[in-house]
């Protein structure tokens, strides 16, 4: 597959379409044996994502998000907050039993932070990510929680 030079890229040249649709690439179609669409659709079918949570969380309050798992799964939770650099308490559990806590916490600037947590389950059940505001200030919270069948 030939990749276009950056100087031929319509975005670099300032030629933007007047809609949200992407144009089909020019040139011969990709041979079916080289296409990755089937593999992508197969992987996507195994992913389950809980509704995105965007809300304010008072000091001491907890917000939980649940995902029902049909069987063994990989879990990924991404929590972001604005309001403090202090790490918040983040726990992923299966059927009430903690699998992991806090994950990889970090902070950005003077008032933002986040945590990424990953876990694997050996069975299905109700998976939960729980975030508790352990800081003394209210935070704007964003939670993304997803699972992928193993």
Q: Which two tokens stand for residue 115?
A: 């945590």
Q: What's the DSSP call for residue 109? A: T
Please tell me the predicted confidence (pLDDT) of residue 45. Answer: 81
Rg (Cα) of the chain, in Å, rounded? 21
Q: 114-143, pLDDT tens digit by residue? A: 999 999 999 999 999 999 999 999 999 999
pTM comes to 0.72
Q: CA–CA separation, 52 vs 9, rounded Å?
A: 34
Domains (range + CATH), the chain: 6-41 (no CATH), 47-149 (2.60.120.380)
Spatial separation of the C-alpha atoms in residues 113 and 92, rounded to whole Å: 18
Whole-angstrom distance, CA of residue 111 vs CA of residue 62: 19
Q: Are 90 and 98 in contact (CB under 8 A)?
A: no
């Amino acid at each position: 597959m030939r990749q276009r030079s950056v100087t031929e890229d319509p975005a670099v040249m300032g030629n933007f379409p007047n809609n949200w649709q992407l144009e089909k690439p020019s040139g011969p179609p990709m041979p079916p044996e080289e296409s990755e669409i089937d593999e992508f659709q197969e992987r996507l079918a195994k992913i389950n994502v809980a509704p995105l949570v965007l809300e304010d969380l008072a000091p001491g309050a907890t917000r939980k998000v649940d995902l029902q798992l049909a069987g063994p799964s990989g879990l990924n939770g991404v929590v972001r907050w604005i309001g403090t650099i202090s790490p918040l308490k983040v726990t992923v559990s299966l059927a009430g039993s903690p699998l992991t806590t806090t994950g990889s916490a970090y902070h950005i600037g003077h008032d933002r932070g986040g945590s990424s947590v990953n876990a694997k389950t050996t069975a299905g059940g109700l998976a939960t990510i729980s975030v508790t505001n352990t800081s003394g200030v209210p935070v704007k919270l964003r939670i993304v929680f997803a699972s992928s069948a193993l």
